[in-house]
Amino acid sequence: MNLIADLFLTFSKIGLFTFGGGYAMLSLIDDSCVSKKQWITHDEMMNITVIAESTPGPIAINCATYVGYKQKGLIGAVAATAGIVLPSFCIIFLISMFLDRFLEIAWVAHAFRGIKIAVGILIVDAAVRMIQKMKRKPVEITMMILACILMLIINVFSFRISSFILVLAAAVISLAYFFIRQYLEKAGSER
């Protein structure tokens, strides 16, 4: 089979049959790309997982792009990425067309009042998992707590400040901190 078509179809299949988001997809990608198709090695798969975690964006997209690129360059990357996105795109698009009135049914609305509670818990859980994995030095912890408090204040008083500003400020501060530390080290070694 044509490799580009194969990439597209393989990743469509992954996109169509994994429920539960990116982390669930990783095991399926591992299964089909490493064990079955042997497009990438196990070590490469590990590397992609690390890259996917430390770069922004949906994790499954990072993987698909990488595998596609390794196999067939830019065209391969496009085929694999389009493949993994397309099935859910079609499904969601259909749902959004005729399910907008869905919420008006009483028991559906009740169900979603329950779900709303769960979503808060799931987000806290995501944060806790990330805290467990991050470097916990005093600087990092201070940054995290500061960001958390500022964001809480923004939320509680519904200030119209985007969290993007906080992210930008964190980038500037950590860059400044880096240069100051470097400068101090240099000054210290010259003495």
Partner 1 sequence: MIYLELLVGFLQVGLFSFGGAYAAIPLIRDVVLSYGWIDDEMLSYMIAVSESTPGSIMVNLATYIGSSKAGFFGALIATSAVVFPAFVIVLLLTGLLSKLLKQPAVKAVLDGLKPCIIGIILATGCYMILENCMGRITDISVNYLVIILTAVLALLYFGSRKILKKGISPIGLIGISALIGIVVYAGV
Residue 189 makes contact with partner 1 by CB under 8 A: no
Answer for which of 2, 31, 42, 178 binds partner 1 (CB under 8 A) is 178
Residue 17 makes contact with partner 1 by CB under 8 A: yes
Restricted to residues 77-116, the positions that interact with partner 1 (CB under 8 A) are 77, 81, 84-85, 87-89, 91-93, 95-97, 99-100, 103, 106-107, 110-116
Q: Name the one range near partner 1 by CB under 8 A: 1-9, 33-41, 76-84, 183-191.
A: 76-84
Q: Which residue lies nearer to partner 1 by CB, 22 or 32?
A: 22
Answer for which of 29, 59, 71, 83 binds partner 1 (CB under 8 A) is 59
Q: What is the DSSP code string of the chain?
A: --HHHHHHHHHHHHHHH--S-HHHHHHHHIIIIIIIS-SS-HHHHHHHHHHHHHSSS-HHHHHHHHHHHHHHHHHHHHHHHHHHHHHHHHHHHHHHHH-TTGGGSHHHHHHHHHHHHHHHHHHHHHHHHHHHHS---HHHHHHHHHHHHHHHHHHHTT----HHHHHHHHHHHHHHHHHHHHHHHHHHHH-
